[in-house]
Structure 1
Amino acid sequence: MTATPLLTAFLPIALGIIMLGLGLSLTLADFARVVKFPKPVLIGLACQLLLLPLICFFIAKGFALAPALAVGLMLLAASPGGTTANLYSHLAHGDVALNVTLTAVNSVIAILTMPLLVNLSLAHFMEGDQAIPLQFAKVLQVFAIVLVPVALGMLIRKLAPRFAARMERPMKIVSALFLVVTVVLAFAKDWQTVVDYAPVVGGAALLFNLLSLGIGYWIPRLLRLPQRQAVAIGMEIGIHNGTLAIAMALSPVLLNNPTMAIPAALYSFLMFFTAAGFGWWVNVTHGKELAIKDAEAAN
């Protein structure tokens, strides 16, 4: 898999548009909701920031992934939830407001946690001459490609709320399409490389995805969160921002290691099907409970 000029140029644009779309859907109230309703947010963040990296580490070790693939999988675990999670949560009758809040907060926190986890992964899995840690200047670049478009989108929403409201749904669709295009471009250049790695890392990516969805749903349920919030958290930590992980892996100024993009590309492909299956399962097995919650919310 080679970082072609087309892919290198496309990724920052795609990621900027995706994060801009996220910003158009956010307000300061989404961040303030953490103070008003801390329990579901804290549970979701604990699953995302603490449990997932630990589980991902053991999966990488258990599958004996090659160093670059292991780092790529850890990079994916460190990535915040993707905007596609909001759409899947809506379709599965989850608490979309909680999804928005978790995405907003986790995107900010990821500015610190992603470089930290990536550097720890590089130090553990890669040999000394292969491990090129993310220096402070590179952390600032991650900050720029993630938060600046989000802040711009929030500013547009504040200054032109009607325009932002009209653009919110189209931007979600565009974000999903950009993710698909990013994965296709990452696969297309060196398909044989993907085929060679898929049997090795595909199982690890699938297991990590299924565990992410399961942990995100069942831990909140065990902690007695409402069904809709558990669905939202399951979608949020099961649908990662694969575009961000791929962009960081391929970027010449960040990791510049195409092999590290393979786990995120495979994961991003698989999660469309697993998330759809999870949403179907929730609606079939817990449809009555969801209907009751919807009726109570309407009243």
Structure 2
Amino acid sequence: MIKMYTPIFREEPIFIAQTFNLSDGLTLGLVLVGCCPGGVSSNIMSFLCKGDVAFSVGMTTVSTLIAPVATPLLVNLLIGQRIDIDPWSMFQFMLLVTIIPVAIGSSCNIMFHKYEFFKQVRQVMPGVAVIGFALIVGGVIAVHGDKFLQSGLIIFACIFCHNAFGYVLGYVAAKFFGMSTAKKRTLSIEVGVQNAGLATGLCGKFFPTSAEAAIASAVSCVWHSISGTILANIFLWFDKKAEENNNAVENLKTQSEN
């Protein structure tokens, strides 16, 4: 969602759609993914690549809180002339699936964090989330499998470009504003990794006949997790190389002094 707030980058999904001559359904899927808030997995990826975790959590939280208003407005702005969209109903639905669960979770954490049973529940919930994630993606592929086989390659190519552009945009923007290395990595991941599961839910609720939009969102769910993990490991690889170079320089200095 972060990259959708400026006029230049709002047009990126539309540019990709025009470049690949996409149908309205695939365009809708890309727009929905781009207009959704950051994915929770981005916080984990920021941690893995030694990013600024507090910065990551803060951005994910803010984008999630404003998503019920921002997402319907942005989707309507970008593709409302081509596809019928009901921003008010989308706003109500997003309140139900974003703000209310966050409020319930925060309240439970405040009230029950000292209790042992609640600690056990918290340990189980990540597994429950993964199962739910798999069911969402699997359900979409099961229902629209034929369409996926027909257009799978072009769908993946568009998702790859959309996702990669987000990573590059986030890193370049952070570098432009003189942020630290940790924040550069974090912003790159935050802009690139979206809550594609929410986009899939929006497709199922408001565009049930658009198989291509649902597939694009579901494939994004999987690819964002994979690509984010790959990017985090690339950042760590650069750290390892930098450390090896520093050690080599130190060894040379030590040898020259001796």
Q: Which amino acid aligns with 1:262?
A: I
170-179 or 64-73: which moved more?
170-179
Q: 2:226 & 2:69 partners in 1: Cα distance?
A: 30
Which of 107, 127, 130 is equivalent to 2:64? 107
Which of 151, 157, 162 is equivalent to 2:109? 157
Q: Is the 8 A contact 1:221 1:230 kept in 2?
A: yes
Displacement after TM superposition at 1:190 (Å):
3.0
What do residues 97-140 of structure 1 show as CA deviations (whole Å, max 9, x unaligned)? 1111111100112111111122223333x2xxxx3221424421
List alignment gaps of at least 5 residues for structure 1.
Answer: 1-44, 291-299
Q: Percent identity?
A: 21
173-182 or 138-147: which moved more?
173-182
Displacement after TM superposition at 1:48 (Å):
5.2
Alpha carbons of 1:120 and 1:46: their partners in 2 closer, same or farther (altered >3 Å)?
Answer: closer
Displacement after TM superposition at 1:57 (Å):
2.1
Alpha carbons of 1:81 and 1:172: their partners in 2 closer, same or farther (altered >3 Å)?
Answer: farther
Task: Return the index of the structure with the highest Cα Rg.
Answer: 2
Q: 2:49 & 2:38 partners in 1: Cα distance?
A: 16
Q: Which amino acid aligns with 1:49?
A: Y
Structural mapping, 1:28-107, within 5 Å? 47=3, 49-50=5-6, 52-107=9-64
What TM-score comes out, normalization by structure 2 length?
Answer: 0.83
Q: 1:158 & 1:166 partners in 2: Cα distance?
A: 15
Structural mapping, 1:17-28, within 5 Å? none
Q: 4+ runs of 1 displaced by more than 6 Å?
A: none
Alpha carbons of 1:133 and 1:46: their partners in 2 closer, same or farther (altered >3 Å)?
Answer: closer
Q: Is the 8 A contact 1:74 1:121 kept in 2?
A: yes
Q: Which amino acid aligns with 1:141?
A: F
Displacement after TM superposition at 1:256 (Å):
2.7
Are 2:194 and 1:243 equivalent residues in the alignment?
no
SS of alignment partner, residue 286 of structure 1: helix
SS of alignment partner, residue 54 of structure 2: helix
Alpha carbons of 1:170 and 1:55: their partners in 2 closer, same or farther (altered >3 Å)?
Answer: farther
Are 2:129 and 1:175 equivalent residues in the alignment?
yes
What TM-score comes out, normalization by structure 1 length?
Answer: 0.72
Alignment correspondent of 1:24: none
Alignment correspondent of 1:132: 84
Q: 2:150 & 2:33 partners in 1: Cα distance?
A: 20
Q: Which amino acid aligns with 1:47?
A: K
Alignment correspondent of 1:11: none
221-230 or 169-178: which moved more?
169-178
Q: Which amino acid aligns with 1:90?
A: F
Alignment correspondent of 1:277: 230
Structural mapping, 1:2-17, within 5 Å? none
Q: 2:192 & 2:125 partners in 1: Cα distance?
A: 21
* Alpha-carbon RMSD: 2.3
Q: Which amino acid aligns with 1:155?
A: S
Q: Is the 8 A contact 1:78 1:117 kept in 2?
A: yes
Displacement after TM superposition at 1:221 (Å):
2.2
SS of alignment partner, residue 271 of structure 1: helix
Displacement after TM superposition at 1:161 (Å):
2.8
Q: 1:214 & 1:167 partners in 2: Cα distance?
A: 38
Q: 1:235 & 1:243 partners in 2: Cα distance?
A: 17
Displacement after TM superposition at 1:168 (Å):
5.0
Q: Which amino acid aligns with 2:51?
A: G
Which of 218, 228, 231 is equivalent to 2:182? 228
Displacement after TM superposition at 1:229 (Å):
1.4
71-80 or 150-159: which moved more?
150-159
Alignment correspondent of 1:200: 154
Q: 1:88 & 1:173 partners in 2: Cα distance?
A: 17
Alpha carbons of 1:162 and 1:236: their partners in 2 closer, same or farther (altered >3 Å)?
Answer: farther
Q: Is the 8 A contact 1:79 1:114 kept in 2?
A: yes
